[in-house]
Amino acid sequence: MDATYDAWAGPTVGDLGELAVLDRIVRRLPAGTPVLGPGDDCAVVSAPDGRFVVTTDMMVHGPDFRWAWSSPEDVGWKAVATNLSDVAAMGAVPTGLVIALAAPQGTPVAVLESFADGVRVAVDALAPTCGVVGGDLSTSATFTVSVTAFGDLEGRAPVVRSGARPGDVLAVSGELGAAARGLTRLFREGVDEHGEPSRAAAVASGADGDPDVARQRRPVPPIADGPLAAGAGATAMLDLSDGLAIDAGRLARASGVTLSLEADLDDIALHGGEDHGLLATFPADSALPGGFRRIGVVRDRSEAYLVHGTTPVPTTGWDPYADWDGAAG
């Protein structure tokens, strides 16, 4: 086991109480540059554009992560990355995070400290001008994280899902299918003889060192490509959180168009989620910015929202209500 798993030793949150726990966490978090940071009832952040984008996302032990497969630092990273990608998908630059944690009473304080370390390293790597400006602590039978992220449009119009037009180029930035391949391998090889998630089994099988497993634990969304896409005239954009097919269907429905795929993509690239890349449409004469690459074109609305050639592609992917039954939580 790696060193981060030492986080499961030492005094618990119940032993120390909220004030001491909060002090240990806050000192590890990236501060950013708010007008007024943590310590009062609200933070004060600037909005130079006069507008800001805001998004929120939850991560719950069981459907969203497993301690058997992820360290607390991994979970901190992932909680940040999944929210920053939503900000980028609007064409904005991330500026602030508010993080709420609910942990069982017996959770070692070091787990929360390691989680905070994951937040810090993720912000440093993905959005170094961003910071944590506030949050909350509570207790729950299930470890739960809620992150709210803010972003600055810097004078640009937000890039929404409803702007795609026939003739636009369909493009993607970031990996497709890596996180889903990693999760598939963990469910196949990272389990014990009873079918329960097992870090030891993941290590023994080699799954623990798989680059796809690393992407499942710590997605690397192309944050900088969001503002670049906005500057290049992107007509529509969204974060690929639940899988290319289901998210493409969302964009097509919002825009009233059909998306026609030209790239040959396997099932896991189409329907696997949690890569947190960006899907965008651009005018046909645009030079694609950053890491964007063409995968198709926007067509007039037909019977299907997503097609490959003339073949309809099911717009399905991750659905927490349809795909999660709590059996392995």
Q: Is 239 annotated as a binding residue?
A: yes
Q: Which residues contact 217 (CB under 8 A, 6 or more apart)?
A: 69, 70, 71, 74, 77, 78, 182
Q: Is 24 annotated as a binding residue?
A: no
Q: Is 274 annotated as a binding residue?
A: yes
**Rounded to whole angstroms, what are the CA distances from 132 to 17, 27, 38, 52, 280?**
21, 11, 8, 16, 28
Q: Is 189 annotated as a binding residue?
A: no
Q: Is 300 annotated as a binding residue?
A: no
Burial label, 194 (beta-carbon count in 10 A; 0-12, 13-18, 19+): exposed
Mapping DSSP onto H, E and C, the string for 234-290 reads CCEEEEECCCHHHHHHHHHHHHCEEEEECCCCCHHHHHCCCCCEEEEEECCCCCCCC
Q: Is 64 annotated as a binding residue?
A: yes
Q: Is 135 annotated as a binding residue?
A: yes
Q: Is 4 annotated as a binding residue?
A: no
Using CA atoms of 213, 280, 56, 184 in order, give the dihedral in degrees to the nearest 10: -20
Strand order in the sheet with 53-60: 53-60, 144-152, 93-103, 132-139
Q: Is 18 annotated as a binding residue?
A: no
Phi and psi for 148 in degrees, rounded to 5? -115, 130
Q: Is 241 annotated as a binding residue?
A: yes
User: What number of other Cβ atoms are within 10 A of residue 219's Cβ?
Assistant: 26
Q: Is 294 annotated as a binding residue?
A: no
Q: Is 299 annotated as a binding residue?
A: no
The annotation places the binding site for substrate at: 64, 274, 318
The annotation places the binding site for Mg(2+) at: 41, 55-57, 86, 136, 239, 242
The annotation places the binding site for ATP at: 135-136, 161, 241
